[in-house]
Amino acid sequence: MKPVYVILFFFTGTLIMMSVMRWHGKPLTQSPLTKAGILSLEFAKTKQQSDAITTTWKDKQVHYTAIVNTSIDFVFIFFYSLFLFAASYWFSLKQKGIMKKLSQSIALFGLTAGLLDTIENYFLLKMLAFTASDAETVFTFWIAAIKFLLAAIAVVWILLQLLLLLIPKPKTFSS
């Protein structure tokens, strides 16, 4: 199978899972405290904040939705982390020198973001069970921040590489 098809498979899976999670997580956005849905919990900086967020989801169905949404995220992690890795690595195959090494390093950012997201989900589930400590809540905040930073760098890199593909290369004339 051609690498482009693999990248398109992971990209399509990423888009589908984003849509599924947005649709499924809609009940989590109904409170002024949780307008960002599960992201509100990811970026809670204290146990008091995480407890306040999870308390707003005290309705059994909404609380269950938060748990299931976090579980669905594991499928999303599979797709987005492998998409970021595959796309960045594919660009490295067409590059040389520092650009090749940079693309390969950024490819690892995608996998690292996925690993951090998996760890983050473990702690989110603890928060949803009201068993996370204050230190675990702060740790989750920083894991989420680093994950989003790494993923954002990979996305920007991929977009820049796509843009460079669209710019025509100067023709060289041989004598």
Return averaged pLDDT per consecutive 10 residues of the chain, 175 residues in all: 93 98 94 92 95 92 94 98 98 94 97 98 95 95 98 98 86 67
pLDDT given at position 88? 97
Q: How far is it, in rounded angstroms, from Cα 10 to Cα 4?
A: 10
How many residues belong to the chain?
Answer: 175
Map 103-123 to HEC letters: HHHHHHHHHHHHHHHHHHHHH
Alpha-carbon distance values, 59 to 43, 110, 127 (Å): 21, 35, 16
24 located within any domain: yes
174 located within any domain: no
88 located within any domain: yes
pLDDT given at position 175? 57
79 located within any domain: yes
pLDDT given at position 60? 87
169 located within any domain: no
Q: How far is it, in rounded angstroms, from Cα 100 to Cα 95?
A: 5
Asked if residue 41 lies in contact with residue 125, where contact means CB atoms within 8 angstroms, the answer is: no
36 located within any domain: yes
| Dihedral angle sign, alpha carbons of residues 165, 167, 171, 172 | negative
User: What domain range is 37 assigned to?
Assistant: 3-163
Alpha-carbon distance values, 56 to 40, 44, 139, 175 (Å): 11, 14, 22, 74
130 located within any domain: yes
What pTM did the predictor assign?
A: 0.91
171 located within any domain: no
pLDDT given at position 171? 74
- How many structural domains are present in the chain? 1
